[in-house]
Structure 1
Amino acid sequence: MNMNSSSDLLQYAGGFQVMEDAEMKVALPVVLGVICLVGLAGNTLVVAVLLYDFRQAKSSVANGLIVLLSATDLLILLFCAPLRAAVYSRPSWPLGWFLCKTSDYFFQACLSAKSFTLAAVGHARYQHVAEPKKYIHFKCRRLIAVTCSIWSLSVLLPVPHWLFADLRRREDHTACVLEIPAHAWHFMRVFGVAYPLVVYLAPLGFALACLLKALLKNEPAGNTNRTPNRRYEIRRVTAMLLALSGAFALMRLPEWVAWTWSRYRGVSGAAPPVALLVAAQLLTLANCAVNPLVLLAASQDFKDGARSAWAVATRRRAGGQGGTSTFGEKVCAAAPPHAGAASSLCALPTISARQDVAICRDLGQSVPPDVQHFWQHRENAAPVDNNDPIPWESQEQA
């Protein structure tokens, strides 16, 4: 895989361009296509299952933030990954000036939102473990406020990626580059240090610290409400969230190594290898497909929610095809064992009336004769007069 020059390589925005290796031009889009398919299916499933849990009153702030995390992954897979695949497969920038200005900016904004969301997930999980009674109820306003704060900060921090990205004609091709003007050189030197600290080290360090503290937290003295199974469940969910944050931190690490290497290597220093830069972007995009796999492998609640959502969807689909006779069977099975009560319950309107009536008729005919005689005797017996205000006089006369 060859590029024109190492110095040009470091300035490309929106993906690496002008690759001369024909095999890589085919292989990279194929790999990105697989990542997109797996990630779109997995994150759509995560969003659907957690939204179903919200409808079943199984909600928490951490679950809401995981929905936000999956929605951010969907944005990356829908808008950033296909653009990278198109750029890798073409000899020149094919997408115009507007996408050159916004593609890298939007990608960085989504990645920043993921970092801040994981920090919020870690904090919410620690608060839930430390004070379960206070944070047991889901508060939609709190989730909306956290989401607005995260995205407001995420769209502001990568603004230099939008300001300094532009199209440039170089030799026989057009490239989208990040070109720093002379008057902004010192600002970008500071930005090169502050940006990784704010969007990578600080939020992920905070998230990992909160989750580790929640994982190692001991039960308060005298607290006997949590059974061993309940404590194990709390630790297991915390460990799963810790795995999500750790996977994102590790898969983003190569990109920040290349970021720091390229900006502080000096004039005569060696540039980062092309393989490192390509692998860094692939790992960053692959993380969008890893998160649903972690949830599916480590979260029993997510598995149960997926089964419940699938069962509801299957039941609704079967109901639309006339398979709702089980409702009539349940009603008739709960009826008292005599014909009159069975007929009164089975007279209730049902969706598939013909099958229900047949079931109820069979149920009425299957009642033994002695049981029918017992219920008929109870129905025909004259009621006892218990309205005598002075029953003791009647008893004395008797």
Structure 2
Amino acid sequence: MRAAAWSHTDKMDIDRPANVSFFDFVGGVQLLQGEDTRTVMPVLLIGICISGALCNLLVLLIFIRDFRDGRGSEVKALLASLASTDLVILLLCAPVRAVTYYRQTWTLGNFACRTTDWFQHSCIVAKTLILAATTKAKHNLIPRTAASGPLYNPTWIHGALAFIWIVSMMFPIPQLLFASLLPRGSDFVCVSEMPACASDFMSLFYKIYPTVTFVAPVIFTIAYYTKTLYTAVNHAPSPRHQSKVVLVLLCLSGALGLMLLPEWGTFTWIRLGYNKPPVGLLMFAQFLLYACSSLSPVILMIMYDDVRQGLVAIWFIATCRGRKRAPAMKSPQTEGNGAEVGANAVGNDVSQMKEAKFPDVEHFWTGRRNTHVEDEQDPVPWEKEEKML
């Protein structure tokens, strides 16, 4: 991709105010020229948004159906929260970047400029912490009995999700405070300006922030599920089922860690005051961020047995409900299928034949039964006459 006219590194360094120690774009790279950048990135982002949103909606429908039918669990509750977070990222955050790449300047107003990076980082941090919270959830999906107790305990799940979202919205507050809308000719750009007086504190903060919200939770989650998978395969009483659930969560954690690493790396690298990475790397990091939200439901659909069975059930309901409810051919007096109608008709005919009386035939056989034929009387006299002749 060609980033002509204004280079992301040189031009913004020249425009940086004297009392600002940090200066960078917010809401996507702006001031890029070239039709390839203007068309390819929005098309890619819109495609990811549509496909990822549909997949996450399907996963949410499956989990809602399981909870309604009494097959809920703590893992499913957290995975449903993860799918909801991915859905919010794809529907609210990715379109902002698509519009920014297409317009090449900021056209969404001051409120969106101040909140877009803060809101996106809140969702990213929440995703990482939700996956870390699954390590405490129950993974064994055994049938619910009175002795075993419920598999789904909403008290600690609700408390954990509330704590996760509070922490997730507090850590990115500097993105909210330092974002501002600046005029540039007849257009505007959305940038982040960090005052020089806050540079020392923010330098320490930008070392702690990614470590606490990304590096430590991802390493802990991957290490936990790697150990749990090894234990489930070698020592668990039902290793096949347990290892499948753990493998799904391990793949989700690994995919999240790998696909968000470029975004977190460029974010921290820029804010620690080092030379800014190439524009292509920044755009690639943003692309992987949204692709991660589209890949998570695909992993669940392929590897998670309950989600896969739910997909089959939803497909069966969508395709066969009309046939099941189609009215059957029935006679005015009976209901059922054609075989029942035919059987009823034959039965009615037989009963009518049994009930029917034939008086002439009955009188004939009655008369014949009571008739006494004498030995001397010939019942067929014409045969004798033929013999005599």
Q: TM-score range by the shorter chain?
A: 0.7 to 0.9
Instruction: Tell me, yes or no, if the aligned pair for 1:125 and 1:211 is still in contact at 8 Å.
Output: no
The structural deviation recorded for 1:243 is 0.5
Question: 1:153-302 residue pairs with structure 2 within 5 A?
Answer: 153-170=167-184, 173-217=187-231, 226=237, 230-264=238-272, 266=274, 270-302=275-307
Report runs of 4+ in structure 1 exceeding 3 Å deviation: 125-129, 132-136, 170-173, 218-221, 263-266, 312-319, 352-355, 357-367
What is the match of residue 342 of structure 1? none
The structural deviation recorded for 1:137 is 1.3
Cα separation, 2, equivalents of 1:148 and 1:239: 27
Cα separation, 2, equivalents of 1:106 and 1:218: 38
Cα separation, 1, equivalents of 2:229 and 2:198: 45
Taking every aligned residue pair, what percent have the same amino acid on both sides?
32
Cα separation, 2, equivalents of 1:146 and 1:353: 61
Cα separation, 2, equivalents of 1:138 and 1:271: 47
The structural deviation recorded for 1:118 is 0.8
1:101 and 2:114 correspond: yes
Instruction: Tell me, yes or no, if the aligned pair for 2:75 and 2:139 is still in contact at 8 Å.
Output: no
Q: 2:137 aligns to what SS in structure 1?
A: helix
What is the match of residue 27 of structure 1? 40
Instruction: Tell me, yes or no, if the aligned pair for 2:139 and 2:242 is still in contact at 8 Å.
Output: no
* Structure 2 residue identity aligned to 1:6: T
* Structure 2 residue identity aligned to 1:69: L
Instruction: Tell me, yes or no, if the aligned pair for 1:168 and 1:176 is still in contact at 8 Å.
Output: yes
What is the match of residue 323 of structure 1? 326
Instruction: Tell me, yes or no, if the aligned pair for 2:26 and 2:190 is still in contact at 8 Å.
Output: yes
RMSD: 3.1
Structure scoring higher RCO (CA < 8 A, sep ≥ 6) equals 2
Instruction: Tell me, yes or no, if the aligned pair for 1:295 and 1:302 is still in contact at 8 Å.
Output: yes
What is the match of residue 146 of structure 1? 160
The structural deviation recorded for 1:122 is 2.9
Question: CA offsets, 1:93-119, max 9 Å, x none?
Answer: 101100001111110111111011111
Q: 1:169 aligns to what SS in structure 2?
A: strand
Cα separation, 2, equivalents of 1:128 and 1:159: 39
* Structure 2 residue identity aligned to 1:200: F
* Structure 2 residue identity aligned to 1:68: S
Q: 1:137 aligns to what SS in structure 2?
A: coil
The structural deviation recorded for 1:183 is 2.4
Gaps of 5+ in 2: 14-22, 348-389
Cα separation, 2, equivalents of 1:195 and 1:18: 29
Cα separation, 1, equivalents of 2:327 and 2:225: 46
The structural deviation recorded for 1:301 is 2.1
What is the match of residue 380 of structure 1? none
The structural deviation recorded for 1:146 is 1.8
Q: 1:62 aligns to what SS in structure 2?
A: helix
Instruction: Tell me, yes or no, if the aligned pair for 1:29 and 1:85 is still in contact at 8 Å.
Output: yes
1:84 and 2:100 correspond: no
What is the match of residue 384 of structure 1? none
1:356 and 2:328 correspond: no
The structural deviation recorded for 1:248 is 0.6
1:6 and 2:19 correspond: no
- Structure of larger gyration radius: 2
* Structure 2 residue identity aligned to 1:55: R
Cα separation, 2, equivalents of 1:190 and 1:216: 38
The structural deviation recorded for 1:128 is 7.8
Higher mean C-alpha displacement, 355-364 vs 2-11: 355-364
What is the match of residue 74 of structure 1? 87
Instruction: Tell me, yes or no, if the aligned pair for 2:232 and 2:239 is still in contact at 8 Å.
Output: no
* Structure 1 residue identity aligned to 2:176: W
Relative to the length of structure 1, the TM-score reads 0.75
Question: CA offsets, 1:284-316, max 9 Å, x none?
Answer: 011111011111221222111111233334454
Cα separation, 1, equivalents of 2:85 and 2:7: 34
The structural deviation recorded for 1:165 is 0.3
Cα separation, 2, equivalents of 1:176 and 1:95: 9
Question: CA offsets, 1:151-187, max 9 Å, x none?
Answer: 1111111111101100112456421111001222122
* Structure 2 residue identity aligned to 1:77: L
The structural deviation recorded for 1:134 is 6.7
Question: CA offsets, 1:174-215, max 9 Å, x none?
Answer: 211110012221221112101101110122122212212221
The structural deviation recorded for 1:246 is 0.5
Relative to the length of structure 2, the TM-score reads 0.77
Gaps of 5+ in 1: 329-351, 368-398
